[in-house]
Amino acid sequence: MKRPLISTYIIALVTLTSLLMCPTRVQAQTAPITTDEEPEKTSFYQGVMVGLDVFGFVNKAIGSDINTAEASVEVNLKNRFFPVVELGYGSMDTTGEETDIHYKTSAPFFRVGVNYNVFHKKPHLPGYLTLGLRYGFSSFKYDIQAPALQDPNWGHGTVPFDYQGLKTNAGWAEVVVALKANVFKGFYIGFNLRYRSRLSMTKHENSEPYYIPGYGRGKPNNFGVGYNLVYELPF
């Protein structure tokens, strides 16, 4: 299952890069050379973009035990800085085939941060290549059940392992590389790669979260990807 997904990521990245860069070649061949004109000043406010990450829906459709819905609002300042807010809802309901451990959770999450447009000096390009930082947070509860354990004190009998509604908070940082290409007036498609590092997490005596909404598997670090449909508001 992993190889087809990796191939899909590579194809998507190559396609978006082609959409972004090809028009540059055409313009470079046809644009007249001018030396007298002063460079046009870029206004501070450049617009607002709203986006929907569809990767979660696709991932669930192909059999993942993680389901995520996510939207974003991004403000374009001088075609260089893009403050962004991302809101979403993540859930997992899974049972390990080998361990028979059942884990279930669902909760909202948010991220705030900023993107930097690498091509800010080339406003003629039909898209953006950005580097960004995020801070993410989720407050959630989870249930976990596992086969009964042998009593450690008496050496015989069993102790049930069943915990419900364990409340947890988690915060993390992200480094984001994203590419958006204009495919129609005001509409963009995008691809992003995220490196996440967990900053804080509430742990319990007998367990810790296996999955964190908006972050992914509860490891200290992980990677994530996204496919975005983006619309630039006409004001």
Return the domain boundaries, the chain. Answer: 2-31+44-232
Q: What is the mean pLDDT of the chain?
A: 84
Determine the pLDDT at residue 31: 47
- pLDDT band for 96, please (50, 70, 90 cuts): confident
Q: What is the average per-residue pLDDT within 148-155?
A: 65
- What's the rounded mean pLDDT across residues 171-195? 96
| Structure-token pair, residue 159 | 């102790």
Q: Please determine, for residue 52, whether its predicted confidence score (pLDDT) is greater than 80.
A: yes
Confidence bin at 124 (pLDDT 50/70/90): confident
Question: Does 24 have pLDDT greater than 60?
Answer: no
Give yes or no for residue 15 having a pLDDT over 80.
no
What is the average per-residue pLDDT within 100-123? Answer: 95
| Confidence bin at 221 (pLDDT 50/70/90) | very high
Question: What is the Cα 230 distance to its own chain's centre?
Answer: 14
Q: What share of the chain is helix, strand, coil (3-state, %, to 5)?
A: 15, 55, 30
Angle at 28 between CA 121 and CA 128, to 5 degrees: 40
With pLDDT > 90 as the criterion, what percentage of the chain qualifies?
62
Residue 33: both structure tokens together: 């050379």
CA distance 14 to 17: 5
As to burial, measured by CB atoms within 10 angstroms (0-12 exposed, 13-18 middle, 19+ buried), residue 12 is middle
CA angle at residue 117 from 32 to 72, to 5 degrees?
125
Amino acid letter, 163: Y
| pLDDT confidence of residue 166 | 95
Residue 186 Rama label (left phi>0; alpha psi -120 to 50; beta): left
Return the percentage of the chain with pLDDT > 70, whole number.
Answer: 79
- Mean pLDDT over 201-208 rounds to 88
Q: Which CATH architecture has domain 2-31+44-232?
A: Beta Barrel (2.40)
pLDDT attached to residue 111:
98
Q: Give residue 11's pLDDT.
A: 52
pLDDT value of position 74: 97
> Average pLDDT of 131-138?
98
**154-to-70, 127, 161 alpha-carbon distances in Å:** 49, 67, 17
pTM: 0.80
Nearest in space to 19 (alpha carbons), one of 129, 131, 126:
126
Please give the average per-residue pLDDT across 47-73, as a whole number: 93
> With contact defined as beta carbons under 8 Å apart, do 174 and 144 qualify?
no
* Mean pLDDT, range 190-204, rounded to an integer: 95
